[in-house]
Amino acid sequence: MSGITINRDVFRDKVMGCWLGKNAGGTLGEPLEGKFGNREMLHVDWYTELPEGGIPNDDLELQLIWLQLILSKGPGLSSADFVEAWNDCIAYNFDEYGLSKENMQKGLSAPVCGWNNNYFKDCMGSPIRSEIWACLAPGCPEVAARYAFLDAIVDHGGGESVYGEIFNAVLESAAFVQNDKWELLKLALSSIPADCLTYRCVKRSMDNYKAGMGYEDNRNDVMEAFYHPVAQYSPLNLGFQTIGWLYGEDFGDAICKAVNCGWDTDCTAATLGALLGILGGASSLPDQWIKPLGYEIATNMATGGIRNLTAPTDIRELTAAVCDEAERVVRYWGCDVTFSASDIMTAGVRLETPDTGWMKQYQPGGIRYDLGGLKETLIYEKHAAVCADRPSAVTLCLENPHPTAKNIRMQVSLPEGFGLACDVPDTLQIPAGGRRQVRMEIAAGGNAIAESNRGWILLTPEGEPAFPAVPLVLLGGSRWLVSGLFKGRTLDDNCGIAEDQIFTRCPEGFEEQWNPGNDLELGHKFTEKGVIFALHHIYTETEREAVLGVPNNGFMKLYVNGEMIHRTVKQVSLRPNLGNGGALGDLSNYKVTRLKRGWNQVLIKLEADVLPQEAHFTMGEMSTVCAKNHGMPLLHIRRSGFSWEGEDK
């Protein structure tokens, strides 16, 4: 279909309906959101909390930041622009936000900052941010999908959440010109891979509905088929969002049905509320749900969740700004959409399947550059860290889009104590329209590894102007000493190790192990139930308060400098974030403590109660910026040495 006409008054009503519906759904669901999903359904039919203006929610306020980003940068956004906005404006540190920000602050860019060491890349942080792209690209689902992709990969690279945000953005963009829910769902599903979990979960909820399955039975079937204990797991929540829409008899009933499915209740209801607001416009939304909230969006500016916000928080002003910018965005992308003051508006449009073929080149572990007329992609294998017990592999892919060959001299500059563990050519010829790949293995001694290790790949073209070097960043792995398995022992059994001692050498029977991320990678050692000890040292140049966590699916004791500071409160599912809010982390395995200046000894005693055993070690710093979200990335430390090795750091 070409030649879409959008009436400006109708468009304004739909955009306002989007934000009003988003605010209502988020306010309904936010008090009911937990850290883990509950198999039992909820039973709400009205707001359980109703502060004036609604409840502040990252679902909505992060999109205000994206609006001010596009207003300042223009429609041609890149993922690097989003990384800048994260550093400038977002202080939240929970779950994927904190883990991706830690990667950013240590030097990684998108999508690797969202892919590396990020347990939560399949969670709801990005699917909740789709509406701004739909409103800026009404009736242009492919454009909305591109923006959603660039947004999502920053904190969810390689995760299902990228598909979740694309799905929602396409669904909502098309909803400006199409009202048929089945056409909309079909179009949105066509924009994501048919083998991804998001597609499969949404499709199952649709098929169950068409087969005549009841609301609660559909919810339970989808929950069992795509179960994940973490409440923010994206595929399952996209299924619940769809169920709320399919079975809802009106606006209030639909958002309540989404919430009553459970899991990430504010996210599913907020997205569905926004979608229904787009479909019917603000004029269709019932006063009983909308009037109590008013037009002012409540934000977490005061408590530091976001900062440096300049976009309007009054929904009427926000709507006007979005509508004006949408016309600029549509012109920029050359969409066949016309905004008109006439009464005519193209409706019931059967939009073509969005062309998302560009996603085929998407490599979650690869950072793309466009320097000196070449297209460079630095691809990390497995992770973006360096460990002393094995080399780390990266591949530099060079594409030459020019009609003539390029002769390139290549120099790799690495930090002191680092070196190449394989032969690398120093000259390359890249044919016209061709590409070359160079794989590098990088090794480092343990004493050389810092928390962020930055090098460069300098490419010098023959007979052409110089251009910037390609950054090569490797994060520091962590060094541990790990005991053997004490079979059949429990957390309170004596295993012959003085747990409260300060070790001055490697304990007998312990072996060295390097970990590239937070995962302690001890599952292979737990061949049966029992106990394993893990010993680690952390160097910090200043005394500081920190949130230490050992999230695991069994039980643990945590010792710092010879003192037991915490033990598992109750057995819970794995939820390895940096520790957030007044109730830290998973409510069971986190503790605020104080690290002294210099070396700090960490001893973890782990008991496996279920197999396979899973455990992570996380560190966060108490936030002085965001009062509501403790557990910001803990930087300026060293984790690659032991105090007895004779170095001061």
Phi, psi of 515 (to 5 degrees): -120, 130
Cα-only R_g, the chain: 26
Place of tokens 């590098």: 440
249 close to 286: Cβ distance less than 8 angstroms: no
From residue 59, how far is each of 30, 125, 248 by CA, in Å? 10, 8, 22
pLDDT tier, 356 (very low <50, low <70, confident <90, very high otherwise): confident
Structure confidence by residue, pLDDT tens digits, 2-50 = 689 999 999 999 999 999 999 999 999 999 999 999 999 999 999 999 9
pLDDT tier, 625 (very low <50, low <70, confident <90, very high otherwise): low
pLDDT tier, 346 (very low <50, low <70, confident <90, very high otherwise): confident
Closest among 248, 277, 246, 279 to 347, alpha carbons compared: 279
| pLDDT (0 to 100) of residue 27 | 96
144 close to 509: Cβ distance less than 8 angstroms: no
Structure confidence by residue, pLDDT tens digits, 538-552 = 999 999 999 999 999
Structure confidence by residue, pLDDT tens digits, 186-233 = 999 999 999 999 999 999 999 999 999 999 999 999 999 999 999 999
CA torsion angle for 230, 231, 237, 240 (degrees, to 10)? 120
pLDDT tier, 267 (very low <50, low <70, confident <90, very high otherwise): very high
pLDDT tier, 1 (very low <50, low <70, confident <90, very high otherwise): very low
Structure confidence by residue, pLDDT tens digits, 501-522 = 999 999 999 999 999 999 999 9
Residues 198, 204: Cα–Cα separation, whole Å:
10
Categorise residue 269: left if φ over 0, alpha if ψ from -120 to 50, beta otherwise: alpha
CA angle 447, 114, 234 (to 5 degrees): 135
631 close to 97: Cβ distance less than 8 angstroms: no
Inform me whether the pLDDT recorded for 582 exceeds 60.
no
Structure tokens belonging to residue 567: 């033990």
Residues 588, 573: Cα–Cα separation, whole Å:
10
Within its chain, how far is the Cα of 456 from the centroid? 27
CA angle 525, 529, 531 (to 5 degrees): 70
| pLDDT (0 to 100) of residue 221 | 98
Sheet holding 418-420, edge to edge: 366-369, 375-380, 392-399, 435-444, 418-420
Structure confidence by residue, pLDDT tens digits, 406-460 = 999 999 999 999 999 999 999 999 999 999 999 999 999 999 999 999 999 999 9
Place of tokens 């059967």: 350
Query: Which helix or strand (DSSP H or E) is residue 620 part of?
Result: strand 618-621
Phi, psi of 55 (to 5 degrees): -100, 130
